[in-house]
Amino acid sequence: AKSSGRQTFSFYSQDMTTLARQRVKLEAELRQALEQNQLRVYYQPIHRLDDGRMLGAEALVRWQHPERGLVPPGEFIPMAEDSGLIGAIDAWVLEQACLQMCQWLQQGAQLEFVAVNVSSRLFSRGELDLRVARVLAQTGLDPARLELEVTESAVMDDPDRALELLQHLRSLGVRLAIDDFGTGYSSLARLKRLPVDKLKLDQSFVRGLPNDAEDAAIARAVITLGQSLGLRVLAEGIEQEEQAVFLRELGCTLGQGYWFGRPQPAEQLLATAASAL
C-alpha cells in the first residue's frame, strides 16, 4: 500500500508539473496577445422576437492565435481570471465595443445597445464603475447604449455587495442584464431589489425547446418572473425557428442564437442584418 501510495503521488506530481508548465506558457502567450493585438471582438446579433428586427449585439472576445487559429473564450478566459489578466482583457473589450457602437451609430445603424460581459472577478472589485465611466467619457458613447452583462452567480455570490455595485453602475446611466439566468439560484426577494433591466435566460434551458417539458416549464417560469418584475427577458442559444416561435408565444421579447446569427466580425454584422439600417 505504501509503494502504490508513493507511485500515485509521483504520478500526480508529474502531471501537475506538466499542467503548471502549460499554464505558465499560456499565460505568457496571453500577455503577449494583449500587447500584440491578437485579441478580436466578435458581435452576435440580438433580435426582437415579434418582428425579427435586430436591436443590438453582444461583444464576445476571441484570440487570434498565430499557430492555433481563432481560440474561443472558454479556452482562455478562466485562466485570465485566475491570473489577473482578465481586468486588462475586459477593459479592452469594453473600449472596443463602445468605439464600435459609436461608429455604427455614425453610419446610421438603428441599434439600441451593445452588450459587454463583465467577469465575476472584476465585478467583485471596486474600480469597475470608475473604469466604465472613464471609457464612456473617452468614447463619448451615450451610456444608455451600453449594456453590461453580469452573471447570476456573480450577483448571488455576495448579493449585498452586488446591489451596491449595480446601483453605482446604474447611476452612470448604463443598462444592466443578468446573464446565464436560471443557473444561479436567485432569491426572488433579492432579485426584486436589483436595479437591472433584463434577464438572459440561459441557453441550457432553450436547448430542449419546444419538446422538453422541464425546459419549457423553466422558460415559462423565467419569462413570467421577468414580466412581473418589469424586466425584459432575452432567450439565449436559439438555434431553431420553432424555439423562437415557442418563446415568443410564452411572451419572451428578445432572442439571441445561431438561428439569428453567429458571433461575427463587426463589418459583417450590419451586412447580414439589413433590417438594422
Nearer Cβ to Ca ion, position 170 or 198? 198
Calpha distance 200→177 (Å, rounded): 7
Interface characters, 136-175, with Ca ion (x: CB under 5 A): -------------x--------------------------
From the list Ca ion, ligand C2E, none, partner contacted by residue 152 (C-beta under 5 to 8 A by kind): none
Q: Does 180 bind Ca ion (CB under 5 A)?
A: yes
Q: Does 212 bind Ca ion (CB under 5 A)?
A: yes
Q: Does 117 bind Ca ion (CB under 5 A)?
A: yes
From the list ligand C2E, Ca ion, none, partner contacted by residue 270 (C-beta under 5 to 8 A by kind): none
Q: Does 129 bind Ca ion (CB under 5 A)?
A: no
From the list Ca ion, ligand C2E, none, partner contacted by residue 147 (C-beta under 5 to 8 A by kind): none
Task: Name the nearest CA neighbour of 90 among 131, 124, 56, 126.
Answer: 131
CB of 93 to ligand C2E, least distance (A): 4
CB of 77 to ligand C2E, least distance (A): 5
CB of 71 to ligand C2E, least distance (A): 10
Relative to beta strand 39-48, strand 254-255 is antiparallel
CB of 149 to Ca ion, least distance (A): 4
Q: Does 44 bind Ca ion (CB under 5 A)?
A: no
Binding site for ligand C2E (CB under 6 A): 44, 60-61, 72-74, 77, 90, 93, 117, 119, 179-180, 203, 237-239, 257-258, 263
CB of 238 to ligand C2E, least distance (A): 6
- Tell me the residue nearest to ligand C2E as measured from the CB: 257
CB of 79 to ligand C2E, least distance (A): 12
Question: Can you read off the three cell numbers belonging to residue 145?
Answer: 447604449
Q: Does 211 bind Ca ion (CB under 5 A)?
A: no
Nearer Cβ to ligand C2E, position 170 or 200? 200
Task: Name the nearest CA neighbour of 179 among 90, 93, 119, 92.
Answer: 119
Interface residues with Ca ion (CB under 5 A) are 117, 149, 179-180, 212, 214
